[in-house]
Amino acid sequence: MQVIITGHHLEVTDALRAHIDAKFEKLARHFDNVTDVHVILSVEKLIQKAEATVQISGAKLFAEDHQEDMYVAIDAMVDKLDRQIIKHKEKTGNHR
């Protein structure tokens, strides 16, 4: 799984990078075929925004979240992606 982290109007620190890597390991446990992840972190006045596009086999998933704290925004965004991946995995499973 390749994780690309981009920052708009903020510098991506090692702590943010480590936090994102730790959170996306959780997604890899639920679904093995996660190939590419692109995370964009941005700041607009007082709102911290985290968005991510996840490329998995057969689909492209997107989630974003706005919070006052960047770490909380990252956590909420990963939870949204986790729910989407579980839903996609149930869809593609055997229906018999």
CATH number of the domain that residue 15 is part of = 3.30.160.100
- Residues above pLDDT 70, as percent of the chain: 97
Task: Tell me how many domains the chain contains.
Answer: 1
Starting from the edge strand earliest in sequence, which strands make up the sheet with 47-56, in order? 2-8, 34-44, 47-56, 59-67
50 part of a folded domain: yes
The mean pLDDT of the chain is: 89
94 part of a folded domain: no
95 part of a folded domain: no
22 part of a folded domain: yes
Tokens of 12: 């991506």
The residue range of the domain holding 6 is 2-79
28 part of a folded domain: yes
Confidence of residue 96 (pLDDT cuts 50, 70, 90): low
Quote the pLDDT of residue 27: 79
13 part of a folded domain: yes
Condensed to tens digits (0 to 9), the pLDDT of residues 10-55 reads: 999 999 999 999 998 887 777 777 788 999 999 998 999 999 999 9
